[in-house]
A and B are shown apart, each in its own frame.
Chain A
Amino acid sequence: MKFKIPIGPQHPALKEPLSLRMTLEGEIIKDVDIRLGYNHRGIEKLAEQKTYIQNIYLMERICGICSHSHTTCYVQGVEKLLGIEPPKRGLYIRTLIAELERVHSHLLWLGVAAHESGFDSFFMYTWRDREVVMDILEILTGNRVHYAINTIGGVRRDIGETERQKVLDSLDLLRKRTEYYTNLGTTEPSFVVRITGVGKLSPEKARDLCAVGPTARASGICIDVRKDDPYAAYDEVPFEVCTADTCDVLGRVVVRVKELLQSYNIIEYLLKNLPQGEVRVRAGRKVPPGEVVSRYEAPRGENIHYIKSNGSDKPERVKVRAPTLANYPAVVEMLKKGFIADIPLIFAAIDPCICCAERAFIVDTKTGQEGIVTMSALKEYAKKFYQARRFEKGVVQWPL
């Protein structure tokens, strides 16, 4: 008997609400159909009617978590069109905020992954420690979410000595906590067993479907815009690209935990080697005709903006592609042949978390009966499903 389960489109906690229609045979997902556009705000059209300065704040509002990603990607494109180079100190501060954003995004994600696998104390720990990063961001920029620190030609605020010391002090705590999480993950068999082998994405498929970011890196594909196409201060900062070869949710956890530790090193390097001088240069209002492709490694993967100027103070065309869109074809692949109980976990693994979605809609195609199932009921079902299956302790090794 085949079932169809539509999931979405209304998920208050999703960055992008989307609708998924899953065709099931028993417990196994046979096919997934994706439908987007429920949150299409026409930003690309709107950007053509706003000035370059106004567009910074428009781009910031594309996403509530990687807001700095979009503004950086946009302003570094406009700077190239204008032919101006921001001062070193400005670029360092820009990179610093970018890494802090990555830390808060990965900690948030780690909590979501733990929550979806039924390890709620882990979730509470990571989200508590995420507050440390949020506080740092507030100290440095004045805001917790939309930092509004980028401007064309540099950044809008400088960092003082007290703030610098404060961030360095908090870094010790964050490092200690992240090492503890690494330990917790390695010694917690139920957690490791729950996420091993779930949401398989082979390296070939990841490459063909053009997956980006931690999703691709967890399938052993070594792509990272920070290394491949260095922007801001990344060509001066030593760091490693983190990959895993397990190709499942476990790999995605490993990649993100490793990236957290790398980010702390980057932040420390940036703060210890912060150059002196100005943080911004003045930029003209009008941009000479031209076009530019700007790339950025957001916490979720490659973010790309294409900007075309026509000589006026408004762009001719701004094209934005956020990393989540690039990962959708890969998610469809991951969900196929998976269990219905793994839907929340697999979805959470690429980072547009479905977990707080209020309800799913179940249709019995044979009888045509429809019923509403809350997302929490689906999660409860997932827990029971896995409790009923036996797992051998200590078989799976944490590959960190």
Chain B
Amino acid sequence: MDEEKIIEQMRNCLGAKLLDASCPAQRRIFVKVNGADVTAAARCIRETVGITHVSTISGVDTVKAFELLYHFADNRVCLTLRAIISRSEPEIETVTDFFPGAILYEREIQDMLGIRIKNIPDPRPLVLPDDWPADNYPLRKDWVCTRPEKKIPGGKK
């Protein structure tokens, strides 16, 4: 089976860095690493497993920590790499060295979750407006949408 073979390959390649690997359904693999090991995992997926396509990166705020889920896919499996990032130091290395197509997803993560991507080739904001207040990260669970009070110039007090 392709799934077992790929998990085996990743185990051999990453060793103790691979915290968890599971195959919950056909053609679906979930592997887990620490945020610090994401470069090694990305290199392993690109060079050893041979997957070249990154579908997207989902950022999840689990309140205790942040999780980044890198979804890789090819014609065999859809591999999800879960990287755990601490809330106190939200930063992670870029994967664009191995997957240049991930640039827009990483920029989106920076905007929406406030996780700093180290060594990203283009760190500018992508989706949030230019006048967006600093340190407001909409996809964090503690962020609630508050509508600005409507002010009519010259209106009633």
Q: Do A and B bind each other?
A: yes
Per-position binary interface string of chain B over residues 76-114, scored 1 when its CB falls under 8 Å from any chain A CB and 0 otherwise: 101010000000000000000001111111000000100
Given the complex, which residues of B lie within 8 Å of A207, measured CB to CB?
52-53
Question: From residue 195 to 237 of chain A, which have CB atoms closer than 8 A to chain B?
Answer: 207-211, 222-223, 227-229
CA distance A316 to B53 in the complex (A): 26
Per-position binary interface string of chain A over residues 306-328, scored 1 when its CB falls under 8 Å from any chain B CB and 0 otherwise: 10100000001101010001101
Contact B127 A37 (CB under 8 A): yes
Given the complex, which residues of B lie within 8 Å of A326, measured CB to CB?
55-56, 101
Contact A295 B104 (CB under 8 A): no
Pick from A45, A306, A316: contact of B69, CB under 8 Å: A306
Contact B78 A293 (CB under 8 A): yes
CA distance A321 to B69 in the complex (A): 13
Contact B104 A329 (CB under 8 A): yes
Is A80 part of the binding interface, using a Cβ–Cβ cutoff of 8 Å?
yes
Is B128 part of the binding interface, using a Cβ–Cβ cutoff of 8 Å?
yes
Is A176 part of the binding interface, using a Cβ–Cβ cutoff of 8 Å?
no
Is B34 part of the binding interface, using a Cβ–Cβ cutoff of 8 Å?
no
Contact A37 B25 (CB under 8 A): no
User: Least Cβ distance of A376 to chain B in Å?
Assistant: 29
Interface centre among B61, B73, B125 (most CB of A within 10 A): B73
Is A120 part of the binding interface, using a Cβ–Cβ cutoff of 8 Å?
no
Pick from A35, A227, A306, A316: contact of B71, CB under 8 Å: A306
Question: From residue 27 to 77 of chain A, which have CB atoms closer than 8 A to chain B?
Answer: 35-37, 40, 42, 44-45
The answer to whether A317 and B75 touch (CB under 8 A), given A37-B129, A80-B25, A295-B55, is no
Name the residue of chain B whose CB is nearest to the CB of A44. B139
Given the complex, which residues of B lie within 8 Å of A242, measured CB to CB?
none
User: Least Cβ distance of B127 to chain A in Å?
Assistant: 4
CA distance A265 to B129 in the complex (A): 45
The answer to whether A319 and B53 touch (CB under 8 A), given A37-B127, A37-B128, A209-B101, is no
Is A253 part of the binding interface, using a Cβ–Cβ cutoff of 8 Å?
no
Question: From residue 262 to 311 of chain A, which have CB atoms closer than 8 A to chain B?
Answer: 292-293, 295, 302, 304, 306, 308
The answer to whether A42 and B129 touch (CB under 8 A), given A229-B73, A295-B55, A295-B78, is no
Given the complex, which residues of A lie within 8 Å of B60, measured CB to CB?
308, 316-317
Pick from B56, B75, B76, B126: contact of A321, CB under 8 Å: B56
Given the complex, which residues of A lie within 8 Å of B125, measured CB to CB?
37
User: Least Cβ distance of B107 to chain A in Å?
Assistant: 9
Given the complex, which residues of B lie within 8 Å of A316, measured CB to CB?
60
Interface centre among B53, B100, B127 (most CB of A within 10 A): B53
Contact A304 B74 (CB under 8 A): no
Contact A229 B78 (CB under 8 A): yes
CA distance A223 to B105 in the complex (A): 20
Contact A208 B127 (CB under 8 A): no
Contact A325 B25 (CB under 8 A): no
Is B118 part of the binding interface, using a Cβ–Cβ cutoff of 8 Å?
no
User: Least Cβ distance of A8 to chain B in Å?
Assistant: 14
User: Least Cβ distance of B21 to chain A in Å?
Assistant: 15
Contact B145 A45 (CB under 8 A): yes
Contact A40 B71 (CB under 8 A): no
Interface centre among B56, B76, B99, B103 (most CB of A within 10 A): B56
The answer to whether A208 and B52 touch (CB under 8 A), given A40-B127, A329-B103, is yes
Given the complex, which residues of B lie within 8 Å of A35, measured CB to CB?
126
User: Least Cβ distance of A212 to chain B in Å?
Assistant: 8
A residues contacting B by CB (< 8 A) are 35-37, 40, 42, 44-45, 80, 207-211, 222-223, 227-229, 292-293, 295, 302, 304, 306, 308, 316-317, 319, 321, 325-326, 328-329
Ordered by A's residue number, 29 sampled pairs between the chains whose C-beta atoms are within 8 Å are A36-B127, A37-B125, A37-B129, A40-B128, A207-B53, A208-B99, A208-B100, A208-B101, A209-B101, A210-B100, A210-B101, A210-B102, A222-B75, A227-B75, A228-B74, A292-B25, A293-B71, A295-B78, A302-B73, A317-B58, A317-B60, A317-B61, A319-B59, A325-B56, A326-B55, A326-B101, A329-B100, A329-B101, A329-B103
- Nearest first, the 7 A-B pairs at minimum CB distance are A210-B101, A321-B56, A37-B127, A319-B58, A228-B75, A306-B58, A209-B101
**Given contact pairs A37-B126, A210-B54, A302-B55, a sample of 11 additional A-B residue pairs in the complex whose CB atoms are under 8 Å apart:** A36-B126, A210-B53, A210-B101, A210-B102, A292-B25, A293-B71, A295-B73, A306-B80, A317-B58, A326-B101, A328-B104
